[in-house]
């Protein structure tokens, strides 16, 4: 994967992360604990993916 492809994936993942955080705030304020837990798991997976992509980028 090229540096530009990695940077594009990182940027896209960051936008998804920000959107999910906003969705989580809505879920929390509306009292949806199960959906909030699922969103928290997705957020953790995104953080892991970001870490891996950043690692790959630093190795280029």
d(CA 16, CA 51): 15
**Alpha carbons within 13 A on the beta-carbon side of 44:** 6
Q: What is the pLDDT of residues 2-60, one digit of tens each?
A: 999 999 999 999 999 999 999 999 888 888 889 999 999 999 999 999 999 999 999 98
Amino acid 53: pLDDT? 96
Amino acid 1: pLDDT? 83
The domain in which residue 42 lies consists of 3-59
Tell me the whole-structure pTM to 2 decimals: 0.84
Amino acid 17: pLDDT? 95
Contacts of 23 (CB under 8 A, 6+ apart): 39
Amino acid 21: pLDDT? 94
- Residue 32 is classified by DSSP as -
- Residue 31 is classified by DSSP as T
CATH code for the domain of 10:
1.20.58
Counting the structural domains of the chain, the total is 1
């Amino acid at each position: 994967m090229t540096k530009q492809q990695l940077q594009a994936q990182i940027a896209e993942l960051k936008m998804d992360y920000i959107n999910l955080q906003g969705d989580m705030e809505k879920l929390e304020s509306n009292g949806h604990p199960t959906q909030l837990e699922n969103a928290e798991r997705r957020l953790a997976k995104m953080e892991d993916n970001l870490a891996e992509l950043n690692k790959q980028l630093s190795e280029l």
